[in-house]
């Protein structure tokens, strides 16, 4: 179905983020249905979008929370997630953040290095607690995605390299306040070649056997997030193929009896329900290029400027014959460009423009650069 902005929102001051809660609910229902047969536990990755109304719906749908900062842990608790469904990941957790998460008695820390394990042990001991920990390993599996959002290769800063794992596991004997409950891996984001998840599964199978040979039985495996979405055809594919995604793990991951498998999806849950709505301020014809200058810019949605990401851009007002535009924002940076040589119906000052699939890593990555005011979020 073609995208439609609710009629009353055509009067809303621009730019703003519009969230389609009905699509979010449908996405959550599809995710629930796909996760149920294999009893996969879904922890939603807050980093993709941490707006309370969205989190509350995700929590009510029965999912847990994957957090990467003290702020996100707090937000998850505020949104009603129970601490035993909260996971805290991240390569640089501060002592204050760890202390707060320990005090809240969250389910698990995904630990990424030996020094971090030592700090977890020390701080947990001081609170008279045990920190439940999954070791984040760097599986060296190529996710075939953008270099900036690939995380599971040896060259990335994330996780424990496989070569170091033996030493890390031996060291656990000296960390009495740390309890190893699982393995964690995340290979990257916006992954559309599902075979990457089969490769990850095979790597985890090997590691699991290796750990069992050393006497470590793991009640939990966390395979991370990363399932991609269709940025080119959001109306044709509003909901990702969750069944195919879980099918990869059903087929390739050797799960032990009673073992829980966790996933941490972010983008796939919230990207398609969010749209950045903007107005055309000016159309400027230069010698080589026709620019449509919007009142939204990289301050509202930085993905095109930062990663060269594609977002579908639609003129919601004009039905005129098509012309070609560079669609740019008002910010004082040349990279403040949403798309080059984009074909749109002839565009005029005042036209409403939708930048689609902006629900994930859109509003959360916005900034106040140029002293811009924060765009409002509206929910329907
Ligand atoms: N788990 C871990 C450990 C992660 O690092 C991430 C994302 C996720 C889960 C969720 O991944 P997702 O299901 O959303 O792919 N700002 C970039 C994406 C950065 C992703 C960072 N990590 C973008 O706009 O494309």
What backbone phi and psi angles, to 5 degrees, belong to 125? Answer: -60, -45
Tens-digit pLDDT profile for residues 190-230: 999 999 999 999 999 999 999 999 999 999 999 999 999 99
* Residue 23 annotated as lining a ligand binding site: no
The share of the chain scoring above pLDDT 70, in percent, equals 97
Q: What is residue 150's predicted lDDT score, i.e. its pLDDT?
A: 62
Q: Write down the architecture of domain 21-270 according to CATH.
A: Alpha-Beta Barrel (3.20)
Any atom of ligand 1 within 6 Å of the Cβ of 265: yes
111/88 Cα distance (integer angstroms):
9
Judged against a pLDDT cut of 70, whether residue 147 lies above it is answered with no
The share of the chain scoring above pLDDT 90, in percent, equals 92
- Rounded to an integer, the average pLDDT of 146-157 is 66
36/57 Cα distance (integer angstroms):
18
Judged against a pLDDT cut of 80, whether residue 301 lies above it is answered with yes
- Rounded to an integer, the average pLDDT of 153-182 is 89
Cα-to-centroid distance, 150 and ligand 1 (Å): 9
Tell me the pLDDT of the chain averaged across its residues.
96
Annotation marks residue 332 as catalytic: yes
Q: What is residue 140's predicted lDDT score, i.e. its pLDDT?
A: 85
- Looking at the CA of residue 268, tell me the nearest atom of ligand 1: 13
Q: What is residue 155's predicted lDDT score, i.e. its pLDDT?
A: 67
Please count the other Cβ atoms lying within 10 Å of the Cβ belonging to residue 54. Answer: 25
- Rounded to an integer, the average pLDDT of 300-313 is 98
- Rounded to an integer, the average pLDDT of 352-370 is 98
Q: 59-66 long-range CB contacts below 8 Å, 24 or more apart?
A: 61/25, 61/28, 61/29, 61/31, 61/32, 62/32, 63/28, 63/31, 64/107, 64/262, 66/225, 66/264, 66/266
- 153: pLDDT confidence band, cut at 50, 70 and 90? low
CATH 2.60.40.10 for domain 274-379 = no
Which residues, other chains included, contact 28 with Cβ-Cβ below 8 Å and sequence gap of 6+? 57, 58, 61, 63, 269
Flag the least confident range among 54-58, 150-154, 168-172, 271-275: 150-154
Same fold, 21-270 and 274-379: no
Which residues, other chains included, contact 310 with Cβ-Cβ below 8 Å and sequence gap of 6+? 231, 232, 304, 339
Instruction: Identify any residues that bridge with 284 across adjacent strands, giving them in sequence order.
Output: 291
Any atom of ligand 1 within 6 Å of the Cβ of 306: no
Domain ranges of the chain: 21-270, 274-379
Tens-digit pLDDT profile for residues 79-131: 999 999 999 999 999 999 999 999 999 999 999 999 999 999 999 999 999 99
Judged against a pLDDT cut of 70, whether residue 152 lies above it is answered with no
Please count the other Cβ atoms lying within 10 Å of the Cβ belonging to residue 335. Answer: 13
Judged against a pLDDT cut of 80, whether residue 9 lies above it is answered with yes
Tens-digit pLDDT profile for residues 131-144: 999 999 998 887 77
Q: What is residue 86's predicted lDDT score, i.e. its pLDDT?
A: 98
- Looking at the CA of residue 265, tell me the nearest atom of ligand 1: 13
Judged against a pLDDT cut of 80, whether residue 1 lies above it is answered with no
Any atom of ligand 1 within 6 Å of the Cβ of 224: yes
Tens-digit pLDDT profile for residues 328-346: 999 999 999 999 999 999 9
Cα-to-centroid distance, 151 and ligand 1 (Å): 9
- 287: pLDDT confidence band, cut at 50, 70 and 90? very high
């Amino acid at each position: 179905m073609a995208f439609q902005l609710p009629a009353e929102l055509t009067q809303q001051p621009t730019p703003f983020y519009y969230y389609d809660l009905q699509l979010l609910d449908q996405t959550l229902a599809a995710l629930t249905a796909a996760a149920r047969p294999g009893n996969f536990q879904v922890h939603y990755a807050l980093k993709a979008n941490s707006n309370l109304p969205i989190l509350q719906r995700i929590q009510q749908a029965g999912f847990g929370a994957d957090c990467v900062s003290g702020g996100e842990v707090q937000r998850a608790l505020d949104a009603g997630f129970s601490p035993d469904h909260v996971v805290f990941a991240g390569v640089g957790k501060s002592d204050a953040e760890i202390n707060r998460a320990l005090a809240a008695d969250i389910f698990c820390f995904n630990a990424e290095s030996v020094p971090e394990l030592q700090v977890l042990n020390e701080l947990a001991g001081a609170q008279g607690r045990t920190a439940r920990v999954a070791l984040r390993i760097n599986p060296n599996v190529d996710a075939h995605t953008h270099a900036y959002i690939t995380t599971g290769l040896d060259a990335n800063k994330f996780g424990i390299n496989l070569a170091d794992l033996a030493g890390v596991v031996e060291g656990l004997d000296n960390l009495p306040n740390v309890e190893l409950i699982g393995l964690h891996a995340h290979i990257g984001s916006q992954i559309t070649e599902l075979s990457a998840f089969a490769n990850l599964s095979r790597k985890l199978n090997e590691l699991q056997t290796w750990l069992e040979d050393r006497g470590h039985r793991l009640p939990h495996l966390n395979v991370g997030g990363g399932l991609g979405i269709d940025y080119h055809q959001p109306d044709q594919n509003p909901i990702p193929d969750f069944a195919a995604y879980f099918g990869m793990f059903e087929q390739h991951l050797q799960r032990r009896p009673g073992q829980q498998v966790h996933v941490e999806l972010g983008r796939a849950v919230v990207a398609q329900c969010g749209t950045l709505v903007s107005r055309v301020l000016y159309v400027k014809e230069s010698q080589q290029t026709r620019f449509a200058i919007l009142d939204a810019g990289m301050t509202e949605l930085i993905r095109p400027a930062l990663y060269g990401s594609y977002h579908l851009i639609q003129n919601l007002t004009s039905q005129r014959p098509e012309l070609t535009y560079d669609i740019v924002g008002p910010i004082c940076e040349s990279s403040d460009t949403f798309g080059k040589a984009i074909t749109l119906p002839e565009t005029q000052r005042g036209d409403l423009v939708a930048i689609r699939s902006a629900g994930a890593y859109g509003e959360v990555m916005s900034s106040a650069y140029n002293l811009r005011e924060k765009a409002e979020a509206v929910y329907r």
